[in-house]
């Protein structure tokens, strides 16, 4: 079998191109690995510069060039970034150099014609622009357009100090390399855009969260009630910028005070908005329904009628008669309040009177308990962020720890709230707060109470 010379040449060319592509693919693969390593840790512009520099290094090595430059262009043909042979130049000088080359130099010719430009001898070709105070000698040059998505993505210029250096093989391998390496450069650009978009979204989200927090705080009492014969304390600290915990005080007719603490399912903005709407309803209906159990039935039906995405509310509502210290209260799936005096700690509320969270069962029934707060007695109501706080070993803070703090602090409500908070923070300091944390505490003092 006789093989023609043309076939041999074709096979040799194909083999040469395959070797070239293999070399370029390896270099491109290493560049992608480098970019992945830098993602999230290196500055975005550093990533882009390194990808551009690597492109120059690869193409220079494959073509035997001694120096080079690389311009990246946008869809309007404006240079967005550049890598010059002169490494250290001022921004003003860089702008002048780029402008001169694109106006009158070989790179400008390539930008206009979208074809490879070859200069065998710079002294005999008008397309070569000799710049003042050049720190290098150039006698031959090659500029290659990098086309992406049918648009001019960049211009790669390679230079050599001897004339006639670049041949047909040089052109082939540089074109292959430029196309492959452009993928890495484009990836770096996309990463920068995505990262910038992420930062903008993050800032917008932070603004929204701050606004949501301000809205949420506007629904919380500006201060605790000041009623002679009682001292009140309250605190609310979301796990995120905003949360679903809330508390309220309602001054009602007949010398009564409504005290509420609740927890909306979930966290974040959705829970915060749900809480704000529910707080308004609670304040409105507290004046219409004097019995806590009837108030709960009304709120529950209303929540079930409009509840979305399974959101619900746990709630304790206490109706306090400030003249007698008598309280009536209902509990909708919330942690039971605790009472403490010189005799010890007591959990308030019967199992029979406790109902499910509001917004789950439309026809749920709620009971009502009665209790007399004796003088020097104190009631603490709290959300599950207290007893469900965890340490680094995933242990729960639990009721036993809370009980010890409550038992050892009967002086005043503000002190008790602060001691519980400090205890929980110490317990979970290595893990941080993972749930909203809210407490309301009030004490009946020895002096006779009256409604101001």
Tens of pLDDT, residues 261-304: 998 886 666 777 777 788 888 988 999 998 999 999 999 998 88
pLDDT at 37: 47
Of residues 425 and 98, more confidence is placed in 425
Q: What is the CATH number of the domain that holds 352?
A: 3.60.40.10
Question: What element of type H or E holds 152?
Answer: strand 151-160
Give the pLDDT mean for 64-71: 84
Higher pLDDT, 393 or 58: 393
Q: Per residue in 5-29, pLDDT tens?
A: 666 566 666 666 565 555 555 555 5
35 pLDDT above the threshold of 50: no
Cα 285 to Cα 6: distance, rounded to the nearest angstrom: 95
Radius of gyration of the chain (CA): 37
The Cα–Cα gap between 200 and 187 comes to: 20
- Kindly give, in sequence order, each residue whose CB lies less than 8 Å from that of residue 132, ignoring residues fewer than 6 positions away: none
What is the spatial distance between Cα 238 and Cα 246, in angstroms, rounded to a whole number? 10
Which of 113-127, 149-163, 325-339, 397-411 has the least mean pLDDT? 149-163
pTM summary value: 0.58
> How far apart, in whole angstroms, are the C-alpha atoms of residue 219 and residue 217?
5
22 Cβ neighbours under 8 A, 6+ residues apart = none
Mean pLDDT value across the chain: 80
3-state DSSP assignment of residue 330? strand
Q: Tell me whether residue 329 is in a domain.
A: yes
Write the pLDDT tens digit of every residue in 292-309. 999 999 999 988 887 666
Same-domain pairing of 157 and 51: yes
Residues 288 and 330 in one domain: yes
pLDDT confidence of residue 29? 53
Residues 329 and 395 in one domain: yes
Identify whether residues 416 and 357 lie together within a single domain.
yes
pLDDT higher at 27 or 69: 69
DSSP 8-state class, residue 156? E
324 with 259, same domain?
yes
Same domain, 181 and 248: no
When pLDDT is cut at 50, 70 and 90, the band that residue 132 belongs to is: low
Q: Is the pLDDT of residue 36 over 50?
A: no
Does 38 score more than 50 pLDDT?
A: no
Q: Is 451 contained in some domain? A: no
Tokens (6 digits) for 270: 């959705």
Torsion of CA 225, 338, 235, 290, to 10 degrees: -40
User: What is residue 133's predicted lDDT score, i.e. its pLDDT?
Assistant: 66
Predicted confidence (pLDDT) at residue 99 exceeds the cutoff of 80? no
Q: Decide if 353 is inside a domain.
A: yes
Confidence band of 177 (pLDDT split at 50, 70, 90): confident
Residue where a domain terminates, one of 157, 173, 192: 192
Judgement on whether residues 30 and 96 belong to the same structural domain of the protein:
yes
Residue 27: inside a domain, yes or no? yes
List the one residue out of 306, 307, 234 whose CA is nearest residue 265: 307
Report which of 213, 248, 187, 175 is spatially closest to residue 24, judged by C-alpha positions: 175
Give tens-digit pLDDT for 193-231: 676 777 777 777 677 667 666 766 777 888 999 998 999
Higher pLDDT, 103 or 159: 159
Instruction: Specify whether 163 is located in the same domain as 244.
Output: no
Claim to verify: residue 238 and residue 275 sit in the same structural domain: yes
Q: Where are the beta strands (DSSP E) in 322-377?
A: 326-332, 338-341, 344-347, 369-372
* One domain for residues 162 and 236: no
Domain presence at residue 209: no
Give residue 32's pLDDT.
44
Domain boundary among the residues 192, 210, 240 is at: 192
Tell me, what's the pLDDT at 225? 93
Inform me whether the pLDDT recorded for 370 exceeds 50.
yes
Report residue 172's pLDDT band, with 50, 70 and 90 as the boundaries.
confident
* Count of structural domains within the chain: 2
Residue 441, pLDDT > 70, answer yes
Query: pLDDT digit string (tens) for 341-369?
Result: 988 999 999 888 899 999 999 999 999 99
205 found inside a domain: no
Nearest one of 191, 107, 198, 201 to 154, comparing CA atoms: 107
pLDDT of 232 > 90? The answer is yes
Burial class (CB in 10 A: 0-12, 13-18, 19+), 320: buried
Exposed/middle/buried for 163, CB within 10 Å: 0-12, 13-18, 19+? Answer: middle
Average pLDDT over residues 130-156: 80
pLDDT at 346: 93
Residue carrying the six token digits 């005070």:
257
Q: Which pLDDT does position 103 carry in this prediction? A: 74
DSSP E strand stretches across 12-149 = 67-73, 79-83, 117-119, 140-148
For the segment 368-386, the average pLDDT, to the nearest whole number, is 93
Q: Return d(Cα 254, Cα 322) in angstroms, integer.
A: 10
Predicted pLDDT of residue 316: 96
State residue 87's pLDDT score. 58
The torsion angles phi and psi of 420, rounded to 5 degrees, stand at -65, -45
Same domain, 256 and 143: no
Residue 248 and residue 123 share a domain = no
In a domain, 201, yes or no: no
Q: Which two tokens stand for residue 447?
A: 């002096």
Domain span at 28 = 12-192
For position 79, which CATH number holds? 3.30.450.40
Q: Is residue 214 part of a domain?
A: no
**Residue 47: pLDDT above 90?**
no
Task: Please tell me the distance from the alpha carbon of residue 106 to that of residue 131, in angstroms, as a whole number.
Answer: 12
Residue closest to 174 by CA, chosen among 73, 61, 77, 74 = 61
Beta strands 151-160 and 79-83, pairing class: unpaired
């Amino acid at each position: 079998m006789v093989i023609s010379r043309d076939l041999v040449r074709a096979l040799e060319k194909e083999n040469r191109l395959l070797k070239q592509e293999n070399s370029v693919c390896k270099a491109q693969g290493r560049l992608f690995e480098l970019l992945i390593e830098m993602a999230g840790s290196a500055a975005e512009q550093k990533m882009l510069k390194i990808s551009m520099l690597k492109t120059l290094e690869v193409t220079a090595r494959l073509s035997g060039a001694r120096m080079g430059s690389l311009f990246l262009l946008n869809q309007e043909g404006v240079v967005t970034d550049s890598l010059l042979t002169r490494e250290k130049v001022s921004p003003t000088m860089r702008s002048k150099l780029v402008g001169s080359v694109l106006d009158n130099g070989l790179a400008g010719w390539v930008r206009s014609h979208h074809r490879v430009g070859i200069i065998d001898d710079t002294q005999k070709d008008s397309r070569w622009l000799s710049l003042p105070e050049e720190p290098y000698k150039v006698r031959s040059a090659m500029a290659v357009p990098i086309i992406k998505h049918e648009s001019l993505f960049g211009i790669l210029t390679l230079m050599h100090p001897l004339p006639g250096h670049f041949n047909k093989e040089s052109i082939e391998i540089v074109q292959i390399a430029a196309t492959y390496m452009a993928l890495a450069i484009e990836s770096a650009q996309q990463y920068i855009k995505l990262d910038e978009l992420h930062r903008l979204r993050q800032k917008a989200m932070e603004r929204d969260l701050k606004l949501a927090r301000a809205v949420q705080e506007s629904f919380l009492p500006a201060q605790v009630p000041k009623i002679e014969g009682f001292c009140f304390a309250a605190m609310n600290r979301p796990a995120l910028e905003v949360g679903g915990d809330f508390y309220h005080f309602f001054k009602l007719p007949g010398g009564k005070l409504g005290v509420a603490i609740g927890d909306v399912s979930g966290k974040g903005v959705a829970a915060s908005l749900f809480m704000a709407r529910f707080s308004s309803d609670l304040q409105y209906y507290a004046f219409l329904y004097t019995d806590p159990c009837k108030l709960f039935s009304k709120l529950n039906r209303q929540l079930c009628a409009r509840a979305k995405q399974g959101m619900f509310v746990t709630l304790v509502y206490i109706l306090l008669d400030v003249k007698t210290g008598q309280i009536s209260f209902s509990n909708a799936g919330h942690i039971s309040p605790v009472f403490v005096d010189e005799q010890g700690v007591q959990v308030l509320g019967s199992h029979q009177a406790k109902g499910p969270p509001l917004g789950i069962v439309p026809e749920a029934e709620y009971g009502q308990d009665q209790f007399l707060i004796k003088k020097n007695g104190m009631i603490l109501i709290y959300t599950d962020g207290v007893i469900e706080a965890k340490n680094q070993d995933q242990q729960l803070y639990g009721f036993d720890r809370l009980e010890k703090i409550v038992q050892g602090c009967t002086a005043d409500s503000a002190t008790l709230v602060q001691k519980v908070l400090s205890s929980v923070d110490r317990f979970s300091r290595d893990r941080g707060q993972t749930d909203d944390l809210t407490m309301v505490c009030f004490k009946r003092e020895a002096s006779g109470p009256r409604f101001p």
